[in-house]
Structure formats: C-alpha cells, structure tokens
C-alpha cells in the first residue's frame, strides 16, 4: 500500500508558496543578462544628469550623494509598480489568475513570493547604481548608526511592498485602468518622494502628504544617517520616521489582506472578475 502524500498546510504552505513564486524571478534575472545591463545603465544615466545639474548650480556636495542614493532606490519603486501592483492584472491577461485563486494557498503568499524574488534582483541593481555612482562621482558616506539604517531600510521595504500588494488588488478591480494608473503614478512618485532632492524642500503639508509613500520617509531617514549634513536637511527626526514607517507597514499589510480577501470573494461568487465592473 502506497503511503499517502503529505500535504503542506498552514505556515509550511505559506512558506513553500513564497519560495515557489520567488524562484522563477531569481532564475529569470540570471537568464536574461541583457536586462541587467539596461536596468543598471539607464538609472546611472538619469543619476548623472541630476549630478551635472547640481554641480553646474554649485549646490552642496551632499546633493550629489542624495541623487545617487535616490537613483538606487528608484529600482525598488519600479519593481513595486510594475512587478507587483500591475501583476495580478497581467496574470489575468495571461490566464494564470484563475489558477492562483483556485489554489489552496494564500494570495498574499503568492504576491509576497513575487516581491521576495523581485527584491533580490532589484537589490543587485540598486547596489550597482550606488557603487558605480559613488566611484564615478566620489561620494563619501559617514554612517551615523548602522542599526538604525538597517531598521529604516527593512521597515521602508516592508511598507513599500505592503503598498504594492494593496495596489495589486485595486489595479485588478479597476481592470484596464491598471495600465494607465501605473503610468500615471510613475513620475509623480519620483517628484513627491524626493528621489533627487530633500523632501524638506516642499512646505510641511506637502511633505507630510508625500510621507504616505513609504519611500519618502525611508529615503529621508537614510540620507540623514549616511551623510554628515543629512540631519540638517531632514524632514523629521529619524526615530519619528521609523515609527511612522512601522505604522505604514502595518496599515498597508492589513489593507492588502482585506482587499485580496475581497477579490477572492468576488471571484468565487461571480466566477469571474469582469474588467468593465471590477
């Protein structure tokens, strides 16, 4: 008599789902090495343009470092926008969404696996941009607190990818508008998150509204921790920003869980997610 196959359930199923969805993205980045070239070259060119502008204006040298760090962090925003927020919409277009919904695993685990797999490739791209930009433009870093820096990065990524999972459900429910929303959100986020300048340059209320985007406070706190004059150009105290990032992470993850559950209920009740109404 054959032994019954042991099925993973609970946290084991959740973990195996994350690994299963992360694997294709990790392997995919290795197979298409030309993508890595363009994903690193184009951000470095954008960073270079801002660096030359700041030097032509004779801005403080720290602004060059701000641009290099901001240019590296754009990789994470692009990964969230295109590889997470729009992911369920594209899975629907290719016919995979029904399989995901019918599977016994969690939709959050599926999206989290995509995030983990995408984050590995994105981290390589971001690290390369920082390395090349720092060497070419001779950026100097003075780390004020390594533990705080790691905490800021982890909390910012948690909140950012939680936001990506939440937007994935919203984009799917909005149907074809997902493509337009993805395009619409790209440049405004670059502006209001302060990728290439201190967010303190805005007035307080605009900067406070922009802080709903996790990268805004994440970038601001990291710049305060790695540049000598970063604290004088920071929007809020680093510890306050760490607290806000923690709250944002909890809120976005909870909202993503609620929206994903709502989407699954619609799929079960209606048997489809129509683009015209959902």
Classify residue 4 by burial, with Cβ atoms within 10 Å: 0-12, 13-18, 19+. Answer: exposed
Is 21 contained in some domain? no
Q: How confident is the model at residue 268 (pLDDT cuts 50, 70, 90)?
A: low
Total number of domains constituting the chain: 1
Measured CA to CA, the distance from residue 211 to residue 214 in angstroms comes to 6
Is residue 210 in some structural domain? yes
| Residue 161 in this model has a pLDDT that exceeds 90 | no
Note whether 44 and 129 are within 8 A (CB).
yes
Rounded Cα distance between 220 and 193, Å, is: 9
Q: Round the CA-based radius of gyration of the chain to a whole number and report it.
A: 20
In a domain, 8, yes or no: no
Q: Let me know if residue 57 belongs to a domain.
A: yes
122 within a domain of the structure (yes/no): yes
State yes or no: pLDDT of 276 exceeds 80: no
**How many residues make up the chain in this entry?**
278
Residue 27 lies in a domain: no
Assess contact for 74 and 47: CB atoms under 8 A: no
Residue 22 lies in a domain: no
pLDDT reported for residue 23: 81
State yes or no: pLDDT of 241 exceeds 90.
yes
Give yes or no for residue 180 having a pLDDT over 80.
Answer: no
* Cβ pair 4, 102 in contact under 8 A: no
What is the mean predicted confidence (pLDDT) over 157-179? 77
Q: What is the pLDDT of residue 191?
A: 84
pLDDT band with cut points at 50, 70 and 90 for residue 177: low
Query: In the predicted model, what is the mean pLDDT of residues 36-62?
Result: 81
Q: How far apart, in Å, are the Cα atoms of 153 and each of 38, 73, 160, 165? A: 25, 10, 10, 18
130 pLDDT higher than 70: yes
Q: Pick the more confident residue, 64 or 85.
A: 64
Distance, in Å, from the CA atom of 63 to the CA atom of 267, rounded to the nearest integer, reads 49
Q: What is the pLDDT of residue 275?
A: 46
Quote the CA–CA distance of 74 and 190 in Å, as a whole number.
Answer: 8
Query: Are 242 and 147 spatial neighbours (Cβ–Cβ below 8 Å)?
Result: no
The answer to whether residue 15 sits within a structural domain is: no
Average pLDDT over residues 215-233: 87
* Structure confidence at residue 18 (pLDDT): 82
Q: Rounded mean pLDDT of 193-220?
A: 88
- Of 122, 128, 130, the C-alpha closest to 160 is 122
Alpha-carbon span 226 to 72, nearest angstrom: 14
Domain with 164, as residue range(s), is 33-270
């Amino acid at each position: 008599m054959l032994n019954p196959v042991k099925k993973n359930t609970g946290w084991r199923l959740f973990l195996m789902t994350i690994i299963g969805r992360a694997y294709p993205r990790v392997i995919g980045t290795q197979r298409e090495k030309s993508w890595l070239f363009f994903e690193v070259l184009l951000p470095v060119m954008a960073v270079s343009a801002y660096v030359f502008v700041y030097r032509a204006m004779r801005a403080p040298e720290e602004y060059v470092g701000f641009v290099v760090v901001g240019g590296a962090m754009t990789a994470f925003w692009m990964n969230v926008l295109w590889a997470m927020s729009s992911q369920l919409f594209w899975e629907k277009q290719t016919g995979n969404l029904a399989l995901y919904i019918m599977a016994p695993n969690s939709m959050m685990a599926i999206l989290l696996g995509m995030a983990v797999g995408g984050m590995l490739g994105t981290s390589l791209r971001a690290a390369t941009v920082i390395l090349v930009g720092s060497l070419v433009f001779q950026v100097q870093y003075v780390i004020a607190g390594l533990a705080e820096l790691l905490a800021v990065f982890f909390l910012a990524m948690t909140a950012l990818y939680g936001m990506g999972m939440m937007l994935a459900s919203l984009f799917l429910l909005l149907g074809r508008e997902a493509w337009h929303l993805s395009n619409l959100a790209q440049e405004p986020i670059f502006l209001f998150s302060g990728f290439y300048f201190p967010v303190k340059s805005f007035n307080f209320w605009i900067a406070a509204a922009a802080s709903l985007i996790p990268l805004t406070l994440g970038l601001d706190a990291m710049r305060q921790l790695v540049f000598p004059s970063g604290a004088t150009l920071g929007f809020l105290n680093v510890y306050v920003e760490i607290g806000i990032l923690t709250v944002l992470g909890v809120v976005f993850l909870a909202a993503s869980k609620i929206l994903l559950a709502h989407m699954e209920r619609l799929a079960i009740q209606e048997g489809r997610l129509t683009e015209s109404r959902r």
